[in-house]
Amino acid sequence: MNINGKKAIVFGGTSGIGLSATQMLSEKGAHVIAISRNPEKLTQLPKNVTTKKINVLDRDAVEKFFQDEGEFDILVNAATGGKRAVGPFLSMDLDGYKASFDKLWGYTNVVRLGTKFLKDNGNIVLVSGTPARKCRPGQIAISSVGGAVEAFARGIAPEILPKRINIVSPGIIDTPMSPLEGTAREEYYKKATSDNLIPRAGTPDEVAKGIIFAIENEFITGTTIDVDGGCIIS
């Protein structure tokens, strides 16, 4: 796909990986609508980027948005959906575990309601994460959700042909989601990635390049693209 001149919608498009995807799509000449719960955080916009405030869990708002926008070419969802539970499953608050699946429900809302407006040569990219296939201690909720997202994409890929859907799976990425600062932040990422084949945290731009690849390469669908520093094989 030639991105220039295309209409792209990026949920979670004003922060972290989603923001990098918004910027790269814009640089390639797409008109981008960046959506989040807090779009005001994106204060400097290229002329071909607009923002919209929507919660992906608000099905009525998502449906109205797609109806108002009409046809488009590219759909990216990097929205986290909300809080994610961490820790051992046997001592985990089950409501917290259940709430972690808000990411999946946000993805299913967007795909279900947006696909009928997606052009036949259009494509969808969702973001999962390495815990989907390599669950470390304390990551059972994140792993379960990521695995469900990847199974969801593989399952519906044949249903939506000729439209395409793919997954980008990041490893540990240095994004604004981390509340740590300074030395504590550096030490956290150093320790967390010490066993990776590439022992460092990734950047949002490196993940966004995987998203762009999934968009431009018309010979892939139902595929998971790992951008994880070799995490899942280390």
Tell me if 38 is assigned to some domain.
Answer: yes
Q: Per the domain annotation, does 2 fall within a domain? A: no
In a domain, 234, yes or no: no
Of 131, 141, 140, 213, the residue nearest 172 (C-alpha): 131
Residue 39 lies in a domain: yes
Residue with tokens 């030639």: 2
pTM of the model: 0.94
139 in any annotated domain = yes
Provide the CATH number for the domain around residue 181.
3.40.50.720
Per-residue model confidence (pLDDT) at position 175? 82
The structural domain count of the chain equals: 1
Cα–Cα distances (Å) from 168 to 17, 83, 185, 210, in that order, read 11, 20, 25, 6
Give the span between the Cα atoms of 202 and 104, in whole angstroms: 23
Residue 233 resides in a domain: no
Domain span at 100: 7-228
Residue 133 in any domain: the answer is yes
Residue pLDDT, tens place only, 90-116: 999 999 999 999 999 999 999 999 999
Q: What is the mean pLDDT of residues 68-77?
A: 98
The set of residues, in sequence order, having a beta carbon less than 8 Å from that of 116 and lying 6+ positions away, is 66
DSSP states of 110-176: HHHHHGGGEEEEEEEEEE--GGGTSPPTT-HHHHHHHHHHHHHHHHHTTTTTTSEEEEEEE-SB--T
Q: What is the DSSP letter of 202?
A: B
Predicted pLDDT of residue 65: 98
Position 164 in a domain? yes
Mean pLDDT in residue range 207-227? 98
Interval 153-206: pLDDT, tens: 999 999 999 999 999 999 999 887 677 778 888 888 898 899 999 999 999 999
Single-letter residue type at 75: L
